[in-house]
Amino acid sequence: MNLFEYVRPASVAEAIAAAGEPNSAYLGAGTNLLDLMKGGALTPARLVDLTHLPDLGSIETLPDGSTRIGALVKNAALAHDTDFAKRFPVVAEALLSGASAQLRNAATVGGNLMQRTRCPYFTDTASACNKRQPGSGCDAIGGENRSHAVLGWSENCIAVHPSDFCVALTALGAIVEIEGTTGRREVPITEFFLLPGDTPEKETVLEAGEMIVAVRLPAEAAKLAANQRYLKVRERTSYAFALASAAAALTIENGAITEARLALGGVAPKPWRASEAEAALVGKAPGKEAFAAAAEAAFAEAKPSGDNAYKIELGKRVVARVLAMAAAGTPERMPALPASAFAPLPEGVVNV
């Protein structure tokens, strides 16, 4: 690991000032950052430790009914918060399907948003990677890329975003609160993450020194709590990243879908809001035909990036199944295997 300066600020303002120095990085739990530093994929000259800052570790319901989650709230604490899980069950299910119990106990909400891709060419310093070294090329294109993107990728990068949490946040229209030298601003999570285009090294809208201070879920998202599910297909049930995943939330009235939220994970460089699929569902009776049509719409623009053509069909099946699960209703208790394709299905839901 390279030598670096360690700074422990006493306030958010001090943290922002310290991180404004070139080649600085914020340190939360470090569950991703420190691994990348040990392997040489990241070499920050300064780490700004956020773990002792006040006022960033609470979950609160605001007067307008929205829920604000501080950036230092632990993933496990959020998932197991009874009131939060009741209002936003898809978020709790997504959190509990990620990483391991040990990591969920340490990892933070802000760190989850800022985690880097698990593309092996990014983590391997001997490989060309435009995210790690802009202009060096992308060895994943033409390389071992069966786990890479089928939506939103460019000729400069085909890596996928690794988060489960952010997929659920995207489906529910979360807002990211950001603090910087010019003050505070708010960005919809659909705009927070950037597609690679010609600048894959820039993954978010954060400017130098800016930090995430909270994530906010709007009050209207809680109205969808009765019909929410997350589904994740991975190469092993425990401690693996998604090959394809989806978060779904529905409102069903008088036998028809009146509102639909759908986001995809494991298939794009950012959590992918499937707006076309949402529109295709509105006004339809929940059922196999409507869900199959939505799945087709979700992947209408998909194209393989090498050996991953299977992801398109897999993704469609994940979408159809998660919609069927959501339509069947949010379970009263979290499944024993949250978000797993091997968890028992609700009554009336069949494999697709």
pLDDT at 57 exceeding the cut of 80: yes
Residue 200 sits at φ, ψ, to 5 deg, of: -65, -20
Cα–Cα distance measured from residue 337 to residue 175, given in angstroms and rounded to the nearest whole number: 28
Mean predicted confidence (pLDDT) in 287-296: 98
pLDDT at position 153 is 98
pLDDT at 67 exceeding the cut of 70: yes
C-alpha closest to that of 4 among 281, 26, 13, 14: 26
Mean predicted confidence (pLDDT) in 307-319: 98
pLDDT at position 233 is 98
Q: Which amino acid is at 336?
A: A
pLDDT at position 280 is 98
Asked if the domains at 5-52 and 231-328 fall in one CATH topology, the answer is no
Query: How many of the other CB atoms lie within 10 Å of CB of 143?
Result: 16
Percent of the chain's residues with pLDDT above 90: 96
CA distances 185 to 16, 113, 179, 211, 313, Å, are 14, 16, 7, 11, 39
User: What confidence tens digit (pLDDT) does each residue in 107-137 have?
Assistant: 999 999 999 999 999 999 999 999 999 999 9
User: What confidence tens digit (pLDDT) does each residue in 70-109 have?
Assistant: 999 999 999 999 999 999 999 999 999 999 999 999 999 9
**Tokens describing residue 128:** 């060309």
User: What confidence tens digit (pLDDT) does each residue in 152-163 have?
Assistant: 999 999 999 999
Cα–Cα distance measured from residue 75 to residue 167, given in angstroms and rounded to the nearest whole number: 14
Cα–Cα distance measured from residue 229 to residue 323, given in angstroms and rounded to the nearest whole number: 8
Please give the mean pLDDT across all residues of the chain. 97
The answer to whether 34 touches 42, Cβ cutoff 8 Å, is no
pLDDT at position 351 is 65
User: What confidence tens digit (pLDDT) does each residue in 231-274 have?
Assistant: 999 999 888 999 999 999 999 999 999 999 999 999 999 999 99
pLDDT at position 136 is 98
The answer to whether 322 touches 260, Cβ cutoff 8 Å, is no
> Element (H or E) spanning 34, and its range?
helix 33-38
pLDDT at position 350 is 72
Percent of the chain's residues with pLDDT above 70: 99
DSSP, residue by residue, 49-114: E-TT-TTSS-EEE-TTS-EEEETT-BHHHHHT-HHHHHH-HHHHHHHHTSS-HHHHHH-BHHHHHH
Does 254 or 347 have the greater pLDDT score? 254
Superfamily of domain 231-328: CO dehydrogenase flavoprotein, C-terminal domain (3.30.390.50)
pLDDT at position 302 is 98
Kindly indicate the confidence band of residue 352, based on its pLDDT and cuts at 50, 70 and 90: low
Q: Where are the domains of the chain?
A: 5-52, 231-328
Residue 28 sits at φ, ψ, to 5 deg, of: -100, -110
pLDDT at position 348 is 80
User: What confidence tens digit (pLDDT) does each residue in 171-229 have?
Assistant: 999 999 999 999 999 999 999 999 999 999 999 999 999 999 999 999 999 999 999 99
CATH 3.40.50.300 assigned to 5-52 = no
